[in-house]
Structure 1
Amino acid sequence: MAESKTFLDATGTRRSYHQLSNESTVPDARIRDLVTHAITHVPSAFNSQTTRLVAVLKEKHEELWDAVMEVYKVQLPPEKFAHAKGRMELFRKAYGTILFYEDSSTVREYQEKFKTYEDKFPQWSEQTNGMHQYTLWCALEAEGLGVNLQHYNPLIDTRLETMYDVPPTWSLKAQMVFGKPVAQPGEKTFKPVEERVKYFGV
């Protein structure tokens, strides 16, 4: 098992790893713990808890990306599908995928409950989903796993609803692919901090 990094260490080393193997640096129980921790403790507006997660590992992960390729093969012209298939096959070689959803029925419930903020809850729902994504990205990174985030929705939504018995009120937002890194990502560049942050009273 890899030695866990601190959270801040993980935020600094977090990158998009696309070259991944179908191995994990930690037991499946640890992955379950990380997913459970995120869904339990990541905040949401008015504690609405709108995010839903589906974790798919090993051969089930391969079946997921087989299904994505089948859907896209029907939707894309042959020349475009040939290019897209190469990327999808990279993701299929990984160990697992976490599917990130938002429950629109819960969003509507809180819109009705708090009319003053009715127009804000869809935006807040997207924000909490992003926080779940970032928390799990850093948590998996801290365990020595490589991660990348994909957005093949909405074309795959209906197929995955059937595969994973997902309620129609769950809206798919992203697919997080992870596995043991087999190659390093390219160099990351940064815009000057001074252009992006202002400090007062510091």
Structure 2
Amino acid sequence: MSIIESISKRRTYYQVNKELPVSTDKIKEVVAQATELVPDAFNMKSARVVLALGAKQDELWDAIYDAFGGKVAREKIDGFKAGAGTVLYFYDEDVVKSLQEKFPLYAPNFPVWANQANGMLQFTIWTALRELGVGANLQHYNPVIDDAVKKLFDVPASWKLIAQMPFGGIVAEPDAKEKEDISVRVKVHE
């Protein structure tokens, strides 16, 4: 499969379940490989990942619901909880700060670059999961859930939560994408 074919199969799957078409060991392997391979500026290696599986998957989404004090729909949270796992994406602010101190001329850019690298990692893992036949979606319940997540997974205070990616077996395919006039967003000059 070409990279473009893989990217075209990556979709937002909201309806997922705990029945994975591959082993959790394969998921762990792919997440670790992607985290190692995705590049970032100055080779800072700021991205951090927590993989919640099994009971921790359920605890995570219950903690997210609780963090909102009932202000999010239980059905929506239960839809994410129904998945086999969640990839939690962070970047390490200590790594960013150390590079800001080492390269003061570029200091304002390091948080931007850390976020860019994290976005590439999210997309890479999302696409890799889809290649395995696993569906996923991307959520942003932070910063409301930051304290609950740090407590649940005992992550360092310097880890900044960026996004949550529940994943699992695919229950239903999403609607077809509408074809867009890409010339609105891509300009070519020859």
- TM-score norm. by structure 1 comes to 0.90
1:8 deviates by 2.3
1:44 deviates by 0.5
Distance across 1 between alignment mates of 2:91 and 2:25: 24
In the alignment, structure 1 residue 156 sits paired with structure 2 residue 152: no
The alignment partner of 1:55 has SS state of strand
Q: Given the alignment, which residue of 49, 62, 66 partners 1:66?
A: 62
Q: Given the alignment, which residue of 172, 179, 184 partners 2:168?
A: 179
1:190 deviates by 3.7
Q: Given the alignment, which residue of 21, 25, 30 partners 2:26?
A: 30
Runs of 4+ in 1 over 6 A off after TM superposition: none
1:7 deviates by 3.0
Counterpart amino acid of 1:189?
A: E
The alignment partner of 1:73 has SS state of coil
Paired position in structure 2 for 1:90: 79
Paired position in structure 2 for 1:11: 7
In the alignment, structure 1 residue 145 sits paired with structure 2 residue 141: no
1:94 deviates by 0.6
Distance across 1 between alignment mates of 2:2 and 2:50: 25
Q: Deviations over 1:39-64 (max 9, x none)?
A: 11100000001110000112221111
Distance across 1 between alignment mates of 2:170 and 2:104: 47
**Contact 1:112 1:118 survives alignment (8 Å):** yes
Aligned residues: 190
In the alignment, structure 1 residue 103 sits paired with structure 2 residue 92: yes
Q: Given the alignment, which residue of 155, 177, 180 partners 1:191?
A: 180
The alignment partner of 2:50 has SS state of strand
Q: Given the alignment, which residue of 53, 59, 72 partners 1:57?
A: 53
**Contact 1:100 1:173 survives alignment (8 Å):** yes
Q: Given the alignment, which residue of 154, 158, 165 partners 2:154?
A: 165
In the alignment, structure 1 residue 117 sits paired with structure 2 residue 113: no
**Contact 1:7 1:142 survives alignment (8 Å):** no
**Contact 1:150 1:175 survives alignment (8 Å):** yes
RMSD: 1.2
1:6 deviates by 4.1
The alignment partner of 1:149 has SS state of coil
Distance across 2 between alignment mates of 1:127 and 1:146: 23
Structure 2 unaligned regions, length at least 5: none
Paired position in structure 2 for 1:48: 44
Distance across 2 between alignment mates of 1:97 and 1:6: 26
Q: Deviations over 1:21-52 (max 9, x none)?
A: 11111111111111111111100000001110
Of all paired residues, the percent bearing the same amino acid is: 39
Q: Deviations over 1:58-99 (max 9, x none)?
A: 22211111111111126x3xxxx4xx2111010011100000
**Contact 1:38 1:132 survives alignment (8 Å):** yes
